[in-house]
Amino acid sequence: MAQPQLNPSSSEKDQALNVLERLHILPSSARAYKLSDSFAASLRLALTGGGNHRSFGVPCSTPDKHQVSIDFLDAYAQRQWETILYYVVSSAGTGMEGGIEISNGSKTLLKLGNFVVEKARRPTITQMGFEFLLQETNGQVWNLLIVYLDNAENLKMDPVDVLSFLFTLGSLTLGQDYSTANLSPTQIQMLEDLADFGLIYRRSPDSIRYYPTRLATTLTSDAPALLTSTAGPSASSSLAAATSERSGFIIVETNYRIYAYTTSPLTTAILALFTHLTIRFPNMVAGKLTKESVQTAITYGITADQIVSYLTTHAHPQLRKTHPVLPPTVVDQIRLWQIEGDRMRATPGFLFKEFAGEEEYKGAVEYADTLGVLVWRNDGKRLFFVTRYEQLMGYFRNKPKKGAGAGAGAGAAG
């Protein structure tokens, strides 16, 4: 039994208690709260590993003749996950050396998540794909797993089993081997896909044991999913949001030149999405933000704000001592380059004209505005443009006719 804590605000505490009561986790009393009996019994079973649900997996009863180390699992997870990231980056045509190949299942999942799209029979990065690259590794993993969960039924898998196994993986012990004997058919099917993502290691598809990697054991925690290299930003850590000054590695000058202290080909490829790289050293690359390089990135769906956010997130500690972090002239110019490409935008819709009188025009245009379909209007010429016309046509049919009605024509507004 626990006494209520008074540190949070009353509204936050009341809201939290209300949720717990509605979930039948906490039956309330006058001054104290306790777990409901059924929830307490289930929680006790889960914490002690009792019952038949095996919430924390079943460790193998026989020792592995070829026990794998945690270092091996970390290297395996990083290699598998970075291969997926390499594929997303290479879809932007950054000229990465060699073809990046991942399993067909992973390719399909990236397309379903709209991280890449197929154009002219080749994958192309999208705006969501670039957002995916900017996230920390835990966020990237969960984004891909959510797409996997959303499509579980199409893969003839039980979504409840899928979600249950993902939470189970988050509670397993790194370096411990677990038995596949207690897994459901859906979870057995998942093992191959999760091995492609680097979440589990399995020697062969018919192996009776599997090892969770750090990508899996950190699913339900805020611990780093991949260990960073002390020699410099690793491929995955260079994509993660900076949590301290030491994670910054990019210097941006007022003349639009960029210097990135990194040894990662993946980081270099990401910079190449919006930067014209000119010099490459073993531990540094240099280049320049140009109108052409930025507008090329924009054609892939990358926005000016995303570019600015990436440069700010990974700014070198020296830049972080200044305010603002990035030179204002550089930030403004990146946004201006985007605006230049956005001067003309086509909106498909319908143009209404030739109204019988001012009263009919005003009634129709105000009705269109109320519906939220109005795009443009010219009160002087009695013209307006809408994205949909069905309800407007009903409006005209129901109005008493006082003369010629309005005419509508399909077109596009620029």
Alpha carbon distance 385, 378 (integer Å): 9
The tens digit of pLDDT for each residue in 200-235 reads 999 998 899 999 999 999 988 877 777 653 333 343
User: What is the C-alpha end-to-end distance of the chain, expressed in Å?
Assistant: 66
Q: Would the pLDDT of 244 be above 60? A: no
d(C-alpha 239, C-alpha 245), whole Å: 15
* 129 contacts 103 by C-beta, under 8 angstroms: no
Average pLDDT over residues 311-334: 92
Write down the pLDDT at residue 236: 42
Question: Mean pLDDT lowest for which of 42-56, 133-147, 331-345, 351-365?
Answer: 42-56
Express each pLDDT in 391-414 by its tens digit: 888 788 877 665 445 655 555 555
Confidence category of residue 41, pLDDT binned at 50, 70, 90: confident
pLDDT at 5 over 60: no
pLDDT for 20 equals: 77
Q: What pLDDT does 299 receive? A: 81
> How high is the pLDDT of residue 102?
85
- Spatial distance between the Cα atoms of 136 and 59, rounded to a whole number of angstroms: 30
- Split at pLDDT 50, 70, 90, the class of 64 is confident
Residue 239 has pLDDT above 60, yes or no: no
